Amino acid sequence: MVRAVMYQRWSRLTFVHWRYPAATVQPLLPPGLTVETFEGTAWVGLVLFLMEDVRAAVGPAAPWLSRFPETNVRTYVRDERGRGGIWFFSLDAARLPAVVAGRVTYGLPYFWSGMAVRAAADRAVYRSRRRWPGPAGAYVSAHVRAGPPVAADEQVDFLTARFRLFTVVGGALATAEAEHPPWPLHRADLLHLDQNLVQAGGLPAPTGDPLVHASPGVSVSIGGWERVDPHRKWP
């Protein structure tokens, strides 16, 4: 069980995943992490959602700070102990205090962006344009329609059942855990996508048809970080 330092709800999510050659992704990772593959390739995800009910483990949520859009670009990795998790290339959020806290506390590559999410019934529209720090103007515009429920399988679990993140804090690899119930997932249609967030994270532009899932969301407990190996620095 995670010893929570923070509680959140991730709502109205869309997962957009593309295949990438593992050799393209691996050089972007710190020492101690190896890109994880499924069906012979790495996967890069663009994940768009609403962060809600954000609060510390003690005390109530602050109304203005507790609800805002977020979008992350990520891939899937294993550390030298064989533990699977997420490596984030970027996380864009609409609240500057959350961006600063994520950078300072967890060493995560958060960016402050002007963002909006409009959702009704089976449709969701996401928009984001980066403000700070650079590259300023990195953006995404997406329109998604959720379809029928999808049962968990090996591929779905690989892409979405992730309960650990990796980061670099003070030049050393660190990790933190999250805990939440299984995702209620739906197949989804990407009606429109225009983005350069993936490229802003240092990756080539994605090619091919993405795999798209939607979820109404889950409530999440977030644990504090711990160093994986305090003697290894990056770079």
Which domains are seen in the chain, by residue range?
4-226 (2.40.400.10)
pTM: 0.95
Determine the Cα–Cα distance for residues 78 and 35; give it in Å rounded to an integer: 6
Give yes or no for a contact between 107 and 169, defined as CB atoms under 8 angstroms apart.
yes
pLDDT in tens, 166-194: 999 989 999 999 999 999 999 999 999 99
Question: For residues 152 and 31, which has the higher predicted lDDT (pLDDT)?
Answer: 31
- State the pLDDT confidence band at 230, using cuts at 50, 70 and 90: low
Sequence-ordered list of residues with C-beta below 8 angstroms from that of 152, at least 6 positions apart, any chain: 161, 182, 183, 185
92-117: average pLDDT: 97
